Amino acid sequence: MGDTDVAQIHHPGRPVIGVVGLGAMGGQIAGRLLSRGNRVYGTNRTKAKADPLIGRGLRWCDTPRQVTEAADVVVSMVTDSDALKAVTGGPDGILAGLQPGEVYLDMSTISPASGRELAGRVAATGAAMLAAPVSGSVPAAADGSLAIIVGGDPDAYPRVEPILRQLGSTVTFVGDNQHALLLKLAINISLAVQMLAFSEGVLLAEHGGIDRHLALDVLTHSAIGSPMLEARGPLLLQPPGTAWIDVALMQKDLRLALDTAHDLAVPLPSTAVADELLDAARAHGYQHRDITVLYEVLDDLAAAPAGSPDLGFVTA
């Protein structure tokens, strides 16, 4: 473990926080915690991604276990279940470092079943676990305006609520671990489907001779307007350099929702259509583009000769 020599304002009495996973979202979360005067330890598969945070006062650790042993509360934010297994399992993983009474907070989006299984393994160590998936983009993580959904050990929640309120403008405890994850999937269903429907509407207007800027303005200020569309609508004019949520991650969440819906015997027809369009985006090589690229996919479909099979989606 290598502590940085950079001075950091630290408020005595606050819990020491560990962050495992310093990618697009995890890095912003760690940065936000540093900016609020917390002592933060962290690790990431690729250390280079952590260098800016180390310059701001992050204490680097070589393994997730070292982060866990250094912190009072450990947070993980990784891309999927496989990545979570990699950072929690094995002799250098989070579980190996957890001590009775410690709190583990996973902010990743995984399936409710996987979350329930992990919570059981954490409980076996004597530590407490909470799932705290987030709704919001990279900018929201940077400025502390995430919406955070929390589920798990009710006795542990008051201990981490002050930390979560540094990261989110809304923090809601919803019950069990899997309930938080289920609600996160429900949110992302609507995010993908709304973006697809909005893109369809803008494309219809533009191909009918209406300026795209004008169509965006009218639609976002109409009855269908929402905070999500107001924030993301302009990205149809100027795509972000770094995806707020990319096609691959969104499709991962939709597949989790579809699998969960199958187990619960719940129909998700619009989710299935959105998943199919994300398949078309991947076929174009857009997996790391923001989901607003769905507009371009639809535009490509509109321009394709009738019967073209290469877009992965067939229009009526």
Active site residues: 184
Closest CA to 158 of 116, 123, 130: 130
Closest by alpha carbon to 72, among 162, 5, 133? 162
Which of 125, 130, 128, 174 has the alpha carbon at shortest distance from 149?
Answer: 174
Residue recorded with tokens 């009775």: 100
Cα separation, 20 vs 29, whole angstroms: 11
Q: How many CB atoms lie within 10 A of CB 288?
A: 13
One-letter amino acid for residue 274 of the chain: A
Give the separation between CA 115 and CA 105, rounded to whole angstroms: 11
CA dihedral for 18, 24, 25, 27, sign (positive or negative): positive
**Alpha-carbon span 215 to 178, nearest angstrom:** 40
CB 108 within 8 A of CB 126: no
